[in-house]
Every structure is written in structure tokens, then in C-alpha cells.
A and B are shown apart, each in its own frame.
Chain A
């Protein structure tokens, strides 16, 4: 008899444990309390310590690149605890999109704001509160159907950093064309110095290297800008427009500047080569300046713009920085708005810029001084030659990864420029078809 009762009881107990695990989490609910909840707590008969409202903020750069801003939030918003969640760039979009699809995710999200995510309703409309505060040049990438969904932070750009002492040692002049660049590279190679370190293992790096040249030779021209817009709408093909530029880019391989072994090199390893003086140049942007200074405090660095075959002021690959959007499903919107309000002040912009020196703010009335490390790139900035073509590709944007991977295949010798561009066109068509 005892045994008869024991088995069903054990089974029921196990089931109850199982379902307890599936039940809603009360502690999370407490953590997500709104400021109003905090007020209620204060007024209750048994006063408890004031509970901070937790606002989760995600972004793909490491905490170091945002530490001053986080400190500002801490100092100015005592009732809010901004929890920073760093997610590596390689998985950032996947992780955030998965969380958003599940109706979850961080309260404030860096990036991932595109026609699809906006259409799906993942982001809060920020037009009324913030649109007038920012310049349109910055908000254009986060604006859809005249509605603003993200607040653009200091612009980003990449050019070619170079080791000033190494250039002086071998009496090298700053190149202004691709031919001059290869002459510089030849001198460096003869002296046992790697001309340029590059982490081609990352397809994004490979892709941006090509964009630098493509901007100079085609995309940066009036005709090229029109092509770029048309490509995003599905009205033009990449293979017709960019094959000459991509074929020119393979000169880097023919001159032995980029080699197959660089396909196995991570960016961090390439930085080590640059900061140790084994390589003279490195294509990147302000986000690595702190790392350079930490690894080689005495190294003198300057930057020149990405080069093309025709000369001129050169081009920087870049555009509006990360745009911070508000998760439409956030349970702490009031607190999140307070964070975005602070971010949209000169103080907030300055705090972000301190760890990302070099870019310019899109908040009206805020200007920053360009650090001396970017003197060599001033002509390009003055000419307004800063552009990230992918920003205009819209829903075809993810095809850029295929371009980067295709460039890896060119380096490995398994594909021709034409085959790569045809594959990117195919992917763009697929992405555009899906969004219809």
C-alpha cells in the first residue's frame, strides 16, 4: 500500500519541481521595477533601501570604449543602474535579434536598427523627443518612414595608421595614390618591415579594406553615389560597377602587401605586429587608439586616408557611429528615456567621445577638437570624404559579409573578383526579395 502511494507522490513531486522551473521569475520582476515602484517603496510603512532601476545597455565595443559614459550615468542618474552588456561584434546581431524575436533583449540597444527590425516593431519611435536635437546627417541611418528609431553617436571612420618613426627612418613620404603606396611598401619590404598589418581572418576587415579603394575609384564619385543608392534598392548590380575596383584591389596581393598567411591573422595579432614595429601601417579607426597607446606608449602615430589610383584628398570609410535605440518591449522605458536624455546632452556626447576620440558629434551645438593623431587625414575630412556605402544598402546590408568572405576567397585564390561580385549580387537579390 505504502509503495502504491510512494510512486505517484514521487512523480507529482518531480512534476511540480519541473513546472516551478518554468514559472515566471519574480526576482526579475523586482529588478525591472519602474521608478514609480521605487517611490511606492519609499512611502511604505517599513522603509527599505531605495532600489535602483536596472537599465540594460548593449553594444559591440568593449566596456573600455564607453567607460566615461557609464561613469556619467552613475554620477548623474543615482536612481538608475545602467548595466553594460558587451557582446562581441561577431555574434552581436545574432544575439540581439534572437533576444528581440523572443520579446526580450536589452532596454537600450546599440545598432541593429534597420528597415526589417523597425518594420517588425522592435524599436520605439524616438522622433518627437529627440529628432530635432540631432543633425539629419547622423539620424538618416536610423530613420525609416520619417520616424527616428536611434540616437547616433560620434561618427566613426577608418583610415591607414602609420608608424611616424619608421616612415622617417626610411625617408618615406606619405603616399597619396595607390602607386605611391606600393613604392613605400617596396622600400619597407626591402628593409624587412611588413608594409601593412591586417587581420584578414575577419571578413569585415577584408571588406573594409576594399571599400577604402572603391570609395576613391568609384563609389565616392557622383556616378558611384547614385549607383550605391540604386544597389540598395535593387536597381543596379555590383558586378558591373565594382569589378574594376576589385581587380585593382588585387594589386595588394600582387605586390605582396597582403598575403595568404594574413587570412589566418586576427586583428589583435595584427595590432601586435603594428605596435611592435614589425609592420609600418594598419587600417583602423579611433577605437583602437587606446590599445595602441597601452601596447606602445612611445610610438608616434599618424593617419592618412584610404587611397585610390587617381589621387586627390583620399577617402575615410565611415559614417554616423552606433545609434542607440530603445527596445519597444522594455519594461523600464521611463528609466531608459532618462538615460537617452542624458546621452542627448553636450555632457553625454562628450563622455562618449572621450573614449572614442576622433569622431564628431551629431548633436546640434556640440563640436569636438580632432586629436593630433589624425592630422594626416585632415584633407579628406575637409573634403567631406567620409562614407560607409553599406549604410545605403538598406535590407541588402548583410550582403557586405558575403563581400568580405568573397575577398577572402580571392586572397586564397579560389575565386575571381567577378565570381565574388556575382555572388554578392545574388545575395542582395535574395535579401531584397525577402523584404518585399
Chain B
């Protein structure tokens, strides 16, 4: 193929990619660069125009503040546990609902339903379920069984885990649907051959289902981790970051500092740290999954 022909072919691909590239640049690259630039300034609600360069002051202040370290720690705990919880429950659920059950469609819909609702609605619902008052659904049950009330959202040592449970409950059905789609693409021939070789149910799951589910596992765990790192809405709806600062996350602190208190440049610095953190974690995560795939 001569050079003009190659150019003609390539320009077509470039033109097709251009709209997506423009959207990507407009809504991610450009704001990220601008955020990075602002993170080195004193931009705030008091200095919206006369912005001055302050070097890495915002980054130094960020790493000196224990509150932001709490936010990063809470976010990591949330992301890892929510991702693990969703996937560890969704895989057996998907395998179970992939069987020939009469109620399978009804059950699939029932498990998927919470994902349809807004996170704020789910937060409102779980607020009442977790309530320590006499009207709290779970505590009514706990007391009826003769136990002490559990302060799900008011105990700083328990509140984050209560939020994670509510989140896993909401998203396990969604994760399950992706596993179901993957499961349905696995040829039944493998299982028939395994049965002829007298493989047990566990062996079939371990050596056929699980390895062939890897594409869905990769997608669900990576997306679960990224979404977990971005968590804000469910925390906001259930605890508002409290009691005290015990459930504050990276994004909730970014909003508090960057918007509510008007420290825009500080919020921008935290945003950049956040992007880098998500990038590193996702890179490690994908590398680990690839290692598993190679094995």
C-alpha cells in the first residue's frame, strides 16, 4: 500500500475517533490540567480573580492534616471491602441464578432492583432500618432476640462498616447481572466433559467457571474499586461523614474544603492526589488480575 492510501485509511479512523476524543478532552483532560494548575495557586472564594502562585503549599498542608489521612484511610477501607463484598456475594449468587429454577427471572429482578433506586433513596431507607430508636427495623429485631441495641450509624467504630453493608446490598445485584452474562457465554461442553470425568461441583466451579469468569471479575473488581474510591453519596446519605469525622472520605472532604469552605485550590490539590491515587491503585489491581490470568 502506498503512502497516500495509508493516509486515507488512517484519516478515516482519526475522524471516527475525533468525537470521542473531543468529549474526553473537554470533560476530563482539560478540567484535570486546569485543576492541576489551580492546585499550585491560592484560588479561593475570597480570591476568585487575583490568583497567586503558591508552589506546593497546598500539597504540604494536605499531607500535614490528619483529617485528610483519615479520609484516605476510610476511602481505601470502603473501596476494598465494598468491592470484595459485592463480588464475593455476586459470584455464588450468579452461579445459583444461572441454574434452571422456575423463579430465576423473578429472583434476578428482585436482586437487581436495589440498583435501580437512587443512592439517596437507599440511604433514606437504611437510615430507618439502622435507626437506634424504637422505630428502627433492625434494632427492633435485635432487641426482640434479647440482645443490646446496635448503634450502627452512631458508633464511630461501626459507622463505616454499616455504610459498606448498605452499599453492598444495593450493588450486589448489579454485579451479579454482569457475572450472569459472562456465565451464559460459557459453553456447556466443558461441564459435560467434566461430568464424564466425574468432577465434583466444586471442581467444576474452581477449574471451569472461575477461570472463564475472569473477564467479568476483572471488570467488576476494577470498576468496584474505582467507584469505591469515588464514594460520596451513600456516606452523605447515611452519616454525613460523622459521627465527628469518622466516616469522611476523600470526596466528602474535597467537597467540604473545596466548596463549602471556599478553599478551591486546596480542594484542587486534593483532587489531583485523588486522581494519582486512583491511577496507582487501578494499575496495581489490573497487574494483579493479569498475573492471575497468566497463571
Residues of A in contact with B (beta carbons under 8 Å apart)? 4, 7-8, 10-11, 14-15, 18, 90, 93-94, 97-98, 101, 116-117, 119-120, 200-203, 260-266, 269-270, 272-273, 278, 395, 398, 401, 405-406, 408-409, 411-412, 414-415, 431, 434-435
Contact = CB atoms under 8 A, between A and B. Distances in A.
Nearest to B135: A272
A80 B242 CA distance: 42
B127 interface: yes
B240 A201 contact: yes
Interface in B101-142: 127-128, 130-136
Contact of B243 (A101, A395, A398, A412): A412
Given A15-B18, A97-B259, A265 B45 contact: no
Contacts of B18: 11, 15
A398 B242 contact: no
B261 A264 contact: no
B240 A202 contact: yes
B220 to A, nearest CB: 30
B201 interface: no
Interface stretch (B150-158, B179-187, B203-211): B150-158
B121 to A, nearest CB: 14
A273 B23 CA distance: 52
A97 B12 contact: no
Contact of A201 (B8, B46, B128, B243): B243
B210 to A, nearest CB: 39
Contact of A120 (B19, B45, B240): B45
6 contacts: A97-B260, A98-B259, A201-B239, A261-B149, A411-B243, A412-B154
B2 to A, nearest CB: 16
Q: Is the interface of B mostly helix, strand, loop or mixed?
A: loop
A115 B274 CA distance: 31
3 closest residue pairs by CB, A with B: A264-B154, A263-B154, A409-B244
A120 B22 CA distance: 33
B174 interface: no
Contacts of B243: 200-201, 263-264, 405, 408-409, 411-412
A77 to B, nearest CB: 33
Interface in B140-172: 149, 151-156, 159
Contacts of A405: 241-245
B15 A264 contact: no
B85 interface: no
A260 B22 contact: no
Contact of B130 (A10, A264, A412): A264
A120 B48 contact: yes
Contacts of A401: 260
Nearest to A8: B15
A117 B259 CA distance: 13
Contacts of B156: 409, 412, 414
Given A116-B262, A434-B263, A101 B242 contact: no
A273 B134 contact: yes
Nearest to A279: B133
**Which among A264, A266, A414 has the greatest number of chain B C-beta atoms within 10 A?**
A264
B35 to A, nearest CB: 14
Contacts of A269: 128, 131, 133, 135-136
A200 B262 CA distance: 26
B46 A116 contact: yes
Given A11-B15, A90-B236, A263-B153, 5 more contacts: A4-B8, A8-B12, A15-B18, A264-B243, A406-B244
Given A4-B8, A434-B262, A265 B44 contact: no
B151 A261 contact: yes
A188 to B, nearest CB: 16
Given A120-B45, A201-B240, A15 B262 contact: no
Given A11-B16, A261-B154, A405-B245, A120 B132 contact: no
A344 B127 CA distance: 41
B242 A263 contact: yes
Interface string B44-65: 1110100000000000000000
B260 A265 contact: no
B97 interface: no
A398 B260 contact: yes
A408 B18 CA distance: 52
B246 interface: yes
A101 B240 contact: no
Contacts of B244: 405-406, 408-409, 412, 414-415
Contacts of B222: none
B163 to A, nearest CB: 12
Contacts of A412: 154-156, 243-244, 246
B155 A117 contact: no
Contacts of B136: 269
B255 interface: yes
B152 to A, nearest CB: 6
A328 to B, nearest CB: 13
Contacts of B133: 265, 269-270, 272-273
B8 A264 contact: no
Interface in B9-26: 12, 15-16, 18-19, 22-23
Interface string B253-272: 00100011111000000000
Nearest to B22: A18
**Which among B8, B12, B46, B239 has the greatest number of chain A C-beta atoms within 10 A?**
B46
A326 to B, nearest CB: 19
A202 to B, nearest CB: 7
B260 A266 contact: no
A434 B257 CA distance: 12
Contacts of A411: 243
A414 B156 CA distance: 9
A202 B46 CA distance: 28
Contacts of A273: 133-134
A266 B127 contact: yes
Contacts of A414: 156, 244, 246
A23 to B, nearest CB: 14
Contact of B242 (A93, A116, A201): A201
A365 B118 CA distance: 48
B153 A264 contact: yes
B12 A7 contact: yes
Contacts of B12: 4, 7-8
Contacts of A415: 244
Contacts of B242: 201, 203, 263, 405, 408
